[in-house]
Amino acid sequence: MKNIRNFSIIAHIDHGKSTLADRLLEETATIPKEKLSPQYLDKLDLERERGITIKLAPVMMKYGGYSLNLIDTPGHVDFSYEVNRSLATVEGAILLVDATKGIEAQTLSNFLLATEQKLKVIPAINKIDLSNAQIKETTNQLVGSLGFDENGIFKVSAKTGQGVRKLLNGLIKEVPEPIGSQEKPFKALVFDSFYDQFKGIVAYVRVFDGEVRKAERIRFLRTGQESEADSLGYFSPELKEKDVLTAGEIGWIATGLKEVSKVRVGDTISLMGKKVEPLLGYKESKPMVFAGLFPVDRDDFKLLKGSLEKLKLNDASLTYEVDNSPALGFGVRAGFLGLLHMEVVQERLEREFGLELIISSPTVRYKIIKINGEELVVSNPSSLPKQTEVKEILEPWVKGSIISTKEFLGAILELVNSRRAEISNIEYFGDKVKISCRLPLSEIVTDFYDKLKTVSSGFASFDYELADFRPIDAVKLEILVAKEPVDALSQIIPKEKAFRTGKALAQKLKEVIPRQQFEVSLQASIGGKIIAAERIPAFRKDVTAKLYGGDRTRKDKLLKKQKKGKQRMKMVGRVQIPQEAFLSILKV
Ligand SMILES: Nc1nc2c(ncn2[C@@H]2O[C@H](COP(=O)(O)OP(=O)(O)O)[C@@H](O)[C@H]2O)c(=O)[nH]1
Ligand SMILES: [Mg+2]
């Protein structure tokens, strides 16, 4: 164990974590240079296309007689549960700060997460190769607001490799050797997992005590499930087999289990017949936004359910329950950590499981107090009790912090004030300012982040967590398409906004729902009263003729190809409604 070091790289999004991981893979000759594509540990197509890390990614590196287990982490707030779980498996963390940006919101929140877990945090300033790098200023921020010793701050370029070897050696010196004991019976923490068609469930583990050998019988303490360690090994970053995993190591165990509910992230694995105390595990993640997921093809519901179970193994922050929508049929109501998470789940289900899905309007979760004292939590407008039964509706509020350079303070305050915010504190450090505030969650889950970036020319960053529930005067805004109420387009919404939103939504829907064979009426209604109406005229004959003239199948195919992923349609009653319509609420 003396020769093992376990560490994560944490930072705000885009500060260079995955690129630094590349340099470490190169410096330790884990991956030959010619094979090393940028952000090598970002394995999902989705990560590569979007240029962001979504999943934690472990890799073992050999260097100077040491085994170094690195876990690369995402920086976006929607994937903070990945960071959280990574940090529980390591003893140290490199806190990377982009020298052109300085400390940002997730720099702070990740720093706090790491110190809470009592990790050794090693500060490093990145991107020192850039001409606009503000090394002095960033150093001052790290010293002034996070309390680091100036001499302990590493300066690197993850792009050129400058300073990386020094950081690597510093890390070996400063990160303590793993906690745990070789002599005690085997005990390991499951921090991630995935489903493999052949291997069954594969658990990512951090071994705390003892050792496990191939073919030994193991037991999941929380679920009581028993199985065999069919094979096990380390990450290179691909799965590489070996015969034994011992205390201090990070690796994987293939269980052969096919029943996905039997393995849970945060569970403890022991050897069968050996009594050990379970590890603490993790706090469950708290979903922020909820939406319905419905297969375009109704026959795919079973596939959707099976796929979600498997995806959940690899995305512990995903929650869902079966839902039956009058308009969209059988599907699930799922909880996400934010809109980006929601998009990623939809895309992964489509890419990895071949589903085609419609996602309904995302909403937050409301607490309903009924006249008879009953309390319920509702995210789905269609499960709202009758108005006469409701005494009070409460909405979730968050505690947020915004970090920006001082010059944008005025514009940012204007933005947050337009979102019903309560400012609790404004602090200055160096040329930066931190605004602490409380905001209704519903005000930030849609376009807040984009607006914040716009008003601050990209310089402000934002982080938040759920705080409490507060009363709100809310109503159900219903949308009727061709006179039929469409639950998946309905919203629970503050009364003061309902009228304006209803009008805007009807107009937006008119733009995005294509013309049908017949005229389609669109109506917004509150409490049974129509507050806005629009009409989509039927399409004229010649338009159809033009569209479908000639080689129809070829054209259809072409159209389908062009629109793939973008123009998913769902038949609701007699009307074809595209995916975009269900997300219109985000745009009005
Ligand atoms: N010039 C320069 N660019 C860097 C450096 N490190 C990372 N980048 C770039 O910054 C962007 C974000 O890097 P990435 O590793 O994906 O950041 P992550 O979100 O923290 O994982 C990419 O375009 C990288 O090429 C650096 O040291 N110098
Ligand atoms: Mg990354």
Task: Report the separation in Å between the CA atom of 53 and the middle of ligand 2, taken as the mean of its atom positions.
Answer: 4
One DSSP character per residue, 48-90 reads HHHT---S-EEEEEEETTEEEEEEE---SGGGHHHHHHHHTT-
The finding on whether 47 has its CB within 6 A of some atom of ligand 1 is: no
Cα 92–98–104 angle (5° rounding)? 85
Q: Give tens-digit pLDDT for 50-98.
A: 999 999 999 999 999 999 999 999 999 899 999 999 999 999 999 999 9
Indicate whether 205 pLDDT > 90: yes
| Token code pair at residue 414 | 């204007």
Grade residue 402 by pLDDT with cuts at 50, 70 and 90: very high
Grade residue 543 by pLDDT with cuts at 50, 70 and 90: very low
User: Which has more confidence, 421 or 528?
Assistant: 421
**Nearby residues of 293 by Cβ (< 8 Å), 6 or more positions away:** 304, 320, 331, 332, 333, 334, 345, 346, 349, 357, 358, 359, 360
> What pLDDT, on a 0 to 100 scale, did the predictor assign at position 560?
54
**Nearby residues of 460 by Cβ (< 8 Å), 6 or more positions away:** 402, 403, 404, 408, 412, 452, 453
Q: Could you count the other beta carbons within 10 Å of the beta carbon of residue 556?
A: 12
> What pLDDT, on a 0 to 100 scale, did the predictor assign at position 262?
85
Ligand 1 atom with the shortest distance to the CA of 158: 27
Indicate whether 288 pLDDT > 50: yes
Grade residue 261 by pLDDT with cuts at 50, 70 and 90: confident
Residue from 9, 13, 19, 42 whose mutation best tests the ligand 1 pocket (most atoms within 8 A of CB): 19
Helices and strands of the chain, counted as H and E runs: 15, 33
Contact present, 110 and 83 (Cβ < 8 Å) = yes
The protein residues having their C-beta less than 5 angstroms from ligand 2 (an ion) are 17-18, 53
The lowest-confidence range among 192-196, 235-239, 486-490 is 486-490
Q: Tell me the average pLDDT across 228-248.
A: 96
Please give the backbone phi and psi of residue 459, each rounded to the nearest 5 degrees, phi first: -90, -15
The finding on whether 13 has its CB within 6 A of some atom of ligand 1 is: yes
| Token code pair at residue 358 | 């419609």
Q: Tell me the average pLDDT across 265-284.
A: 92
Grade residue 276 by pLDDT with cuts at 50, 70 and 90: very high
Q: Give tens-digit pLDDT for 337-396.
A: 999 999 999 999 999 999 999 999 899 999 999 999 999 999 988 888 888 899 999 999
Grade residue 316 by pLDDT with cuts at 50, 70 and 90: very high
Tell me: cis bond preceding 494? Omega within 30 of 0 counts.
Answer: no
> What pLDDT, on a 0 to 100 scale, did the predictor assign at position 381?
83
pLDDT above 70 covers what percent of the chain? 95
**Ligand with the closest atom to the CA of 20:** 1
The lowest-confidence range among 176-190, 241-255, 486-500 is 486-500
The finding on whether 16 has its CB within 6 A of some atom of ligand 1 is: yes
Indicate whether 248 pLDDT > 70: yes
Report the alpha-carbon distance of residue 320 to residue 312 in Å, rounded: 9
Winning range, highest mean pLDDT, from 315-324, 383-392, 490-499: 315-324
> What pLDDT, on a 0 to 100 scale, did the predictor assign at position 556?
59
Q: Tell me the average pLDDT across 11-33.
A: 95
Ligand 1 atom with the shortest distance to the CA of 9: 20
Give CA separation, 569 vs 307, 362, 560, in Å: 21, 18, 11
Grade residue 308 by pLDDT with cuts at 50, 70 and 90: very high
> What pLDDT, on a 0 to 100 scale, did the predictor assign at position 83?
94
Indicate whether 562 pLDDT > 80: no
Give CA separation, 103 vs 10, 98, 428, 564, in Å: 12, 8, 12, 39
> What pLDDT, on a 0 to 100 scale, did the predictor assign at position 561?
47
> What pLDDT, on a 0 to 100 scale, did the predictor assign at position 549?
46
> What pLDDT, on a 0 to 100 scale, did the predictor assign at position 557?
52
- Secondary structure (3-state) at 509: helix
> What pLDDT, on a 0 to 100 scale, did the predictor assign at position 583?
86
Please give the backbone phi and psi of residue 168, each rounded to the nearest 5 degrees, phi first: -60, -45
Report the alpha-carbon distance of residue 382 to residue 477 in Å, rounded: 10
Average pLDDT of every residue of the chain: 92
Contact present, 107 and 190 (Cβ < 8 Å) = no
* CB crowding 446-465: b at 16 or more within 10 Å, else e: bebbebbeebbeebbbbbbe
The lowest-confidence range among 112-116, 258-262, 516-520 is 258-262
Please give the backbone phi and psi of residue 441, each rounded to the nearest 5 degrees, phi first: -55, -40
> What pLDDT, on a 0 to 100 scale, did the predictor assign at position 550?
47
Report the alpha-carbon distance of residue 341 to residue 81 in Å, rounded: 11
Task: Report the separation in Å between the CA atom of 544 and the middle of ligand 2, taken as the mean of its atom positions.
Answer: 47
- Secondary structure (3-state) at 288: coil
